[in-house]
Structure 1
Amino acid sequence: MKLATTLSLLLTLFLGNSALTTPIAATPQQQLAQTNDDLDWERRHELRWQGLEQLSDGDYAGAIATYEQVWRSAAAAEDYFDYTNALLGLAKATLAIKDYDRAIPMWEVLATRFLTKYEHKTALSFANLGLALYHTQDYEKAEWALQEAIANWEIVRADRDDLEQITLFEQQSYTYRLLQKVLVAQGKTEEALVVAEFSRGQALVEQLVQQYDPNDVVPDLTLEEIRQTAREQDTTIVLYGLVGEEVRVVGTEANLPNELFIWVVQPDGRIGFRNVDLAAANITSLRHFVHRTRNEAVRRHSEGPEVNATLPGDTFSEQMYQLLIEPIADLLPSAPQAQVTFIPQDALFLVPFAALKDANGTYLIEKHTLASAPSVQVMRLAEDDANNNTATNGSHAPLIVGNPNMPTIPEQDRPLIPLPAAEAEAKVIAKLLGTEPLLREAASETQILKTISEAPIIHFATHGLLDLDSQLNIYGDSVVDDLPTARDLGVFITPGGTTVSDRTTIDGLPAAPFLSREKVFVVELAGALALTPTARADGFLTSQEIAQLELAADLVVLSACDTGQGRVTDDGVVGLARSFMAAGADTVVVSLWAIPDAPTAKLMVSFYQKLAEHGDKAQALREAMLATKETYPHPMNWAAFTLMGSPL
């Protein structure tokens, strides 16, 4: 079919019985632009850039007028490239003004006819088609469109390295969340659970699968396999999903969550679902709410926007309990020894679940044995690996590291401060485990790498460093609110299939802050552990180096500051814990903040004592927290540690 014929059909669908600009107040400049279809290529090129700028500035009426002119001219000239790009701009602007009935046929044509050679553009078109269909309540067709979008996104991410996959998923994850909304709107909450599980931790899952067979394909979990995981690990799985408007038309929309989906999978196979309206609770920013809760736990003053949630409770920990736990309290086990595994999302990875307090003043750790994981699939893989490691690593000694001769951070002129309490901690734990610790000069990277691969237990008592880009926060957003965007500077990137390296600059400056809204800047693998420097090693065991190891460890404990933090992405937290899991560790115990020396030592010694008694890692951590709480009651002293991976 010729472009002119296609144009005629689309005009009929798009215009109906009225002129294009009838519902739009066109400016004289726009009216003038609409009078001439006889444009040369250079003029069409100029107008396409003008349309991009109008879209970015929110001048959707102007963009429609501009793109319509290019569209008509390109059709007359049989210019496929300009025609398709003008149609894409028209479809975006029409969807942005929420004219769904007119947007749908354009996105259908783009998805099924014009952009089929480019997976990322096809996926984008199907995703926007799904958005328009969702808002017209055509949920069944929206479900189909979003499944098609996801299938194309999977092709885009295939064969990319780990960090590129995470970066691409940051750009694509809105499609998975929108599909969850479509399924929930149809009452298909269990199908939505499968999508929610599939949409997290995928890059890590692929790394874990390829440890066993580099040619293996990552399988998608079925609903029955999710049930099976809860049953075989005898745990109640709580999976949180955060969804917002999920608009990604221009590519820079914020999409703050306004709903919280919670699925509870019980060991007997029953699945419960709860939906919490964040707006009704006056939670405009869940990240700020989590930030306030954490600062309350560590007795730190909070800066930034106020949080005035209309939830019961006098403290943030009480209100966070009401948000995350109270809606599902009736679905959780009553026995304190029964395990609950949380699978958070986004800022919820930073929540100190153990310190959340109910209306009676009871902490969550007093009611349940807690663990966490990036996804159900990671739980399954960690458990399978744990069974293998238990059978093969019994003849090797644990690796216990404490208080190295501290290295110097490059930006500073003095070494990190020594940690004598960490040395004492390492000595006691090594004695409990029947081994000798590596301390001070012996705690070098060279020495550690000699035994780390075979060690069944690895314990680091040292400094943990979170070396994120200083221009970005932990979510990858610019720390400067009024910083110009890349589009303000004339750089237009459509997210979905693009990654930008750390060597890229805009106007001579690093590009990352300017491109933070597009989420195209390659995610960094943040974090490092301080070790003794040598002539051949700088004294920092980085997350990148850890991820390249092949570990047989059943347990890794990072008794250091902020080792549970990192870059928070839609694929999970990218940092030290993830690197150890990617390297093969079955269980990783990390901290969400820095805690004082004395309670850390007490908690860690108690943890290993309890672990020796019954072998249940999650239960041992709970008992250690409660024992430490008796002596040091404030949550900052005992609630920082969290267990990820296999709990047994």
Structure 2
Amino acid sequence: MTAKCMGGNMKSISNAVHSLLALTMSLALPPAASAAQNVCLSEDTPAYELAEKSLAAAQLLIASRPGRVVEQNIAAAGDRSNELRDLLRRRDRLRADAGRSEANPLEVDASLANIEESIEQLAPGLLADLVNEPRSARALQAALASDQGLLLYVSAPEHSYAWYLDSDCLAWTKLTDFGSAAATPVIDDLRRAITPSVAIRGERPAPAQDARENAPAYPREIAESLHRKLLGPFAERLADKREIMLHASGEILSIPFSALIDPATGQFEIENRVYALLPSLRALDAGAVRPATGRDFPILAIGAPGDGNSPELEWLGPLDGARAELESLGRRYPSRTIILDGPQATKTALSHNLDHAKGGLLLFATHALSTGLGESAVTGLLLSAEDGGEGNLDGDNAGPQLLTPLDISRLEIASDLVVLSACDTWAGPGHHAGEALTGLALAFFEAGATNMIVTHWPIADQSAAVWSEYLVAQLSKSSLTSTEAIRASQIALLRDPSGRWDHPRHWAPFVPVIGMTTSRTQEVAIR
């Protein structure tokens, strides 16, 4: 990498510092002054300039992607992972030294160029993916369709802050007394109401267990209160929007926006618009937010591992709903569907059949599990044992397999949509959804996926099977985009004539993640 490129990086760092200072200034404003910014601001005014600077700082504070990208690439480096980790540390030290007055800029740039060349050899494309230049308000607005909006949220201990953009509006507000300390218990109460009291994916159901049995009433008061706090300041702008993209971190990211209730109408938000997660604003630059559907797209569905007699899987419980989910897809769409279930649900079979899902749907219906603790924890999707393969649950050669982020990174995925129909595939089992994109979901993007559906919570096994049928049916309609099809499938569950699936625990856990393109994605698309 040339010295000229490094100069550009140092300029970006300087801009980030100024943006963070601007945000600090904005947080120091009196509450009334900050709260008054929830109307569209006029360009070429001091208020608009301050909002733009705080917006840039918000993007930097939200971004958790660089750390996840580094984790993924270090894992993929295998035997040379320590070497890559050392190079990245040396790069960080040199970048920090560059700001010292006694540092020689030419020497620093030359050393950085050598280190970054070595990093590029070990992890091609990593440095390009780490560039996280904030997008200007105008650039973000230009990427939004007339019926789309973008919401950004930043949480602080005492207060939170929100920015709203659409094609011709920039607004921002201070969410007074809604910092992480106050928000967490309220959000936890709402999330507990969504966690299934019926059989979750893999749990053994009680005899004759019904979808509504022992189900607590949904806390509408909490759902309405959160709607007022988070969406109320922008209600007029949201009225004609059908797709809202969320870019956030912390507790707010774990809120089921689709299950919030508009106090004015008494309707769930999903009945009026779809909320999609946007982990990287690069997706807007790539124009990958409105993939079209409406054709006989191919389907590759894998899951429900084991043969029903595997002692290694006994403690996990059955996946009856997942098995029914896969079998139903095979019956309904036999000419365009490959099903890999039971003993056939292996890593090798997935790799051999992956080309079938090119331009179509890749669906996993299985357990998501975490092994290890702390930084060494790895989340994976459970698959069946390989004949003579290397086991990675029990460390032997015959046990069930975990499809780990490292495994996924070695695949070449060219599917339009990847669905992870398993529990907690956004943050990983046992983790808070506000911890941002797990290495499992990120690995699919790094392998070439452009759009995904993940889960924020444990999912009910039986209703997940019904939902997937609705999803594929809606994706097949030529008049709908992918996100619109996802919304339609959730509404179908909500309004199912049987009334069995109207509780948000059945439809709210499924969340679209839009167009997180990477350099690897572009390479796969070209191939």
Tell me which residue corresponds to 2:419: 557
Deviations 1:350-386 (A, max 9, x none): 2111111122421111121221111322444471897
The reply to whether residue 400 of structure 1 matches residue 305 of structure 2 is no
Contact 1:341–1:370 at 8 Å: present in 2 too?
Answer: yes
Deviation at 1:276, TM superposition (A): 0.9
CA distance in 1, matches of 2:448, 2:464: 26
8 Å CA contact 1:453, 1:549 repeated in 2: no
Q: CA deviation at 1:416?
A: 2.8
Question: What is the match of residue 481 of structure 2?
Answer: 616
Deviates more, 1:177-186 or 1:617-626: 177-186
**TM-score scaled by length of structure 1:** 0.54
**Superposed CA offset, 1:423-478 (max 9, x none):** 22112224437222111111111111223366232101111224463xxxxxxxxx
Aligned to 2:238: 332
Matched, 1:591 2:504: no
* Runs (5+) with no aligned partner, structure 1: 1-122, 124-143, 152-174, 244-256, 302-312, 470-511, 513-522
Task: Tell me how far apart the structure 2 counterparts of residues 640 and 413 of structure 1 sit (CA, whole Å).
Answer: 25
Q: How does 1:283-362 map to 2 (within 5 A)?
A: 284-298=181-195, 315-334=221-240, 338-359=242-263, 360-362=265-267
Task: Give yes or no for contact 1:227–1:269 (8 Å, CA) kept in 2.
Answer: yes
**Contact in 2 for aligned 1:466/1:528 (Cα 8 Å):** yes
Q: Distance in 2 between matches of 1:272 and 1:288?
A: 28
Tell me: CA distance 1:195–1:320, structure 2 relative to 1, closer, same or farther (3 Å).
same
* Cα drift, residue 422 of structure 1: 1.3
Aligned counterpart, 2:56:
194
Displacement of 1:421 = 2.3
**Counterpart AA for 2:466:** K
Q: Indicate conservation of the 8 Å contact 2:160/2:175, yes or no.
A: yes
Work out which of the residue numbers 403, 423, 437 in structure 2 matches 1:541: 403
| Paired residues of 1:568 and 1:574 also in contact (CA < 8 A) | no
Distance in 2 between the 1:533 and 1:604 partners?
Answer: 25
What is the distance in 1 between the residues matched to 2:261 and 2:324?
Answer: 33
Cα distance in 2, alignment partners of residues 327 and 212 from structure 1: 44
Q: For 1:104-503, what aligned pairs fall within 5 Å after superposition?
A: 148=14, 179-183=22-26, 185=28, 187=47, 188-199=50-61, 200-203=63-66, 216=128, 218=131, 220-223=133-136, 224-231=138-145, 235-243=148-156, 257-266=157-166, 268-278=167-177, 284-298=181-195, 315-334=221-240, 338-359=242-263, 360-381=265-286, 383=288, 397-405=298-306, 414=314, 416-430=316-330, 431-432=332-333, 434-452=336-354, 455-456=357-358, 457-467=361-371, 469=373
Over 3 Å counting, the alpha-carbon distance change for 1:321 and 1:553 in structure 2 is same
> 1 CA distance for matches of 2:305 and 2:370?
18
User: Cα distance 1:177–1:322, how it changes in 2: closer, same or farther (>3 A)?
Assistant: farther
Task: Give the structure 2 partner of residue 638 of structure 1.
Answer: 507
Alignment partner for residue 383 of structure 2, among 531, 538, 556?
A: 531
Counterparts of 2:339 and 2:53, CA distance in 1:
49
Alpha carbons 1:406, 1:531 under 8 Å: kept? no
* Conserved 8 A contact 2:427-2:436: no
Secondary structure, aligned partner of 2:181: coil
Matches within 5 A, 1:82-97: none
> Which stretch of structure 1 is more off in the superposition, 537-546 or 175-184?
175-184
Q: Deviations over 1:221-252 (max 9, x none)?
A: 43132222224x95211111113xxxxxxxxx
The question of whether the paired residues in 1 share the 8 Å contact of 2:196 and 2:459 is answered with no
Distance (whole Å) between structure 2 residues aligned to residue 547 and residue 571 of structure 1: 21
Cα distance, 1:214–1:402 mapped onto 2, change above 3 Å:
closer
Change (3 A) 1:221 1:413: closer
User: Secondary structure of 1:620's match?
Assistant: helix
Contact 1:263 1:272 in 2 (8 A): yes
Report the aligned-residue RMSD.
3.9
Distance in 1 between residues matched to 2:336 and 2:313, nearest whole Å = 38
**Counterpart-to-counterpart distance in 2, 1:291 and 1:612:** 36
CA deviations on 1:250-292 (whole Å, 9 max, x unpaired) are xxxxxxx2221111110x231111211126x9x7342333222
- Give the 3 Å change call, closer, same or farther, for CA 627–602 of structure 1 in structure 2: same
Q: CA deviation at 1:402?
A: 3.1
| Alpha-carbon spacing, 1:314–1:235, altered in 2? closer, same or farther (3 Å) | closer
Q: Which secondary structure state, in structure 2, belongs to the residue aligned with residue 423 of structure 1?
A: helix
User: 1:395 Cα shift?
Assistant: 11
Give the 5 Å matches for 1:575-590.
575-590=439-454
- Per-residue Cα deviation, 1:520-575 (whole angstroms, up to 9, x for no partner): xxx45642111111221431112332234332121100111221223569883324
Flag the 1:452–1:380 CA change in 2: closer, same or farther, 3 A: farther
Q: 1:196 to 1:600 in 2, by over 3 A?
A: same
Deviation digits for residues 67-125 of structure 1, max 9, x if unmatched? xxxxxxxxxxxxxxxxxxxxxxxxxxxxxxxxxxxxxxxxxxxxxxxxxxxxxxxx9xx
User: 1:608, 1:634 → 2: CA distance?
Assistant: 21
The Cα shift of 1:150 comes to 5.1
Structure 1 residue identity aligned to 2:506: N
SS in 1 for 2:418: strand
Secondary structure of 2:476 counterpart: helix
**Matches of 2:60 and 2:356 in 1, distance apart?**
32
Letter in 1 for 2:162: I
User: Per the alignment, in what secondary structure is the counterpart of residue 375 of structure 1?
Assistant: coil
SS in 2 for 1:527: strand
Aligned-residue identity in percent: 23
**Whole-Å separation in 1 of the counterparts to 2:469 and 2:313:** 34
CA offset at residue 189 of structure 1?
Answer: 1.2
Distance 2:434 2:320 in 1: 38
